[in-house]
Amino acid sequence: TRPDVHPLPPGTHLLFAQSGRIEHVPLEGYDMKKDDAKAVLHLPEKVIIGVAYDCVEKMVYWTEITSPSISRANIQGGEPVAVIRSDLDSPEGIAIDHLGRTMFWTDSVKDHIEVSSLDGSQRRVIIDSDLVNPRAIITDPPNGNLYWCDWNRDAPKIETSYMDGSNRRVLVKDDLGLPNGLTYDSQSSLLCWADAGTHKLECMHPDRRDRRKVMEGIQYPFGITSYGKNIYYTDWKRDAVVAVDRYAATESDEFQPLKRTKLYGITTAYAQCPSGQNYCAVN
Amino acid sequence: NALIGTPGDCQPCPCPDRSSCAQIAETGQVVCTNCPPGQTGMRCQMCEDGYYGDPLGQSGAVRPCVRCDCNGNADFNAVGICDRVTGQCLKCLGDTEGDHCQRCRQGFYGDALLQTAGQKCKPCGCNPSGTSGHVNKCHSQTGHCSCLGQVTGRDCGYCEVGFFNLQPGVGCERCKCNPIGSSS
């Protein structure tokens, strides 16, 4: 084991990318145990953007843009293994379907969305039109839905489709600026996004289209993840992880790592997989 | 490794500003863990995303990390805007190109360095009837297309004075006006 990296202790954690590192902050209830924050992985020459977590095999997945690749490592201190190394230009968002055992990612130069098995095999482009700056992507495995955002300054939007790319629809296109971050909470079926242009944090049930503001005046969000009543986002202005209580609509805490540099993707590493069956697994 | 028992067991970290480091047991490799602001890498020899330079002078003179310089033609909301060593811009916008997005890309003309808002690079759009070249080939700054004989205009769209009847691939014909009855 390396002295500069630490295996993830049991429990629920936030994982986020900063300066070629994937850092973790343990969650105690909804509180960030900031003093126990440590690096899970340190790849000093890399720029890590997207981070996703597979709760089944307890693996962290990430996208990297300097020698564009998608890699994974066991969070108990496993070595990083590249699973996709070719035909990537600028991979950004990454999402895991822990039931279907697949991963999805956006590429902001190729302007498309791809899917593959978790080992990188069976790779396929599922969305390749009408994308300008695709960034965050997330899955809703029990319902087989995919959500992503495109921060195209001329026409930003949040879209959805089934996991094979079919049934594609625009969910939100009005009053958006730079929707950088997107998260889905399976418990409440709530889709939430953070916008660095309008400086708002908003949520909606994708079926009900009941869009509502959670918070205004947030600074410069990049990544976002949800855990119960809380939303956590990375902020490019403060170089920090900010916790927001969805119900109280207030900022409840902030974690600013010692290193002052941009934070990118963030995800929740659950102690256990959320319950739920996949529509495919039923057959 | 402090357990060997020789004076050289503990060595200073090879990191700038006496910052900390860690040694990987298996490989013996030393990794800096607290690089100065803006720097990263095994030895803090690289710049953070969005910056470029050679802070330790590994390939020549020391170049401190500075922000990517893309002449305002890269979006600050994007990631990986420039190469962290050379500064070469990787995501030029608005039909610009070049190491610092300093010129219009082929098929476009204008001033890529213009500071005002609005379209900096416009498509050549040469008139297919009047140009002797390709419709997407024009002077990168003025936008002048290469015109057939007696054809004029930036886009080779009309005939010179005294000429008429623009024919594709041919150009314009001389006006055959009778000098006695013409006013010009």
Burial class of residue A283, CB neighbours in 10 A (0-12, 13-18, 19+): exposed
Q: What is the mean pLDDT of chain A?
A: 93
Provide the domain count of chain A.
Answer: 1
Asked, for residue A5, whether it belongs to a domain, the answer is no
Query: Which among B40, B75, B91 has the least Cβ separation from residue A44?
Result: B40
A90: pLDDT strictly greater than 90: yes
Distance of CA A27 to the CA centre of its chain: 17
Q: Which residues of A touch B (CB under 8 A)?
A: 1-4, 19-20, 42, 44-45, 47, 49, 65-66, 90, 92, 108-109, 133, 151, 153, 178, 180, 196, 258-262, 264
Q: How many CB pairs under 8 A join A and B?
A: 67
pLDDT of residue A283: 45
Q: Which CATH architecture describes the domain B124-175?
A: Ribbon (2.10)
Domain boundaries, chain B: 16-67, 68-123, 124-175
**Beta-carbon separation of B79 and A90 below 8 A:** yes
Q: What is the ipTM of this complex?
A: 0.91
Mutate one of A23, A42, A43, A153 to test the B interface: name it (highest B CB count within 10 A). A42
Strand partners, B174: B163
Largest CA distance in chain B: 113
Chain segment A33-72, per-residue pLDDT in tens: 999 999 999 998 999 999 999 999 999 999 999 999 999 9
pLDDT string in tens for chain B (184-residue length): 667 777 777 888 889 888 888 887 777 888 888 888 889 999 999 999 999 999 999 989 999 999 999 999 999 999 999 999 999 999 999 899 999 999 999 999 999 998 877 788 999 999 999 998 888 999 989 999 999 989 999 999 999 998 998 888 888 999 888 877 777 6
**Beta-carbon separation of A47 and B24 below 8 A:** no
Report chain A residues whose CB lies below 8 A from the CB of B117.
none
Mutate one of A1, A6, A40, A47 to test the B interface: name it (highest B CB count within 10 A). A47
- Which CATH number characterizes residue A20's domain? 2.120.10.30
DSSP A274: P
**Beta-carbon separation of A196 and B77 below 8 A:** yes
Q: Could you tell me the CA-to-CA distances from A118 to A103, A270, A280, A281, B37 in Å, in that order? A: 6, 18, 17, 17, 35
Please give the CATH number for the structural domain made up of B68-123.
2.10.25.10
Asked, for residue A138, whether it belongs to a domain, the answer is yes
Q: Does domain B16-67 sit in CATH 2.10.25.10?
A: yes
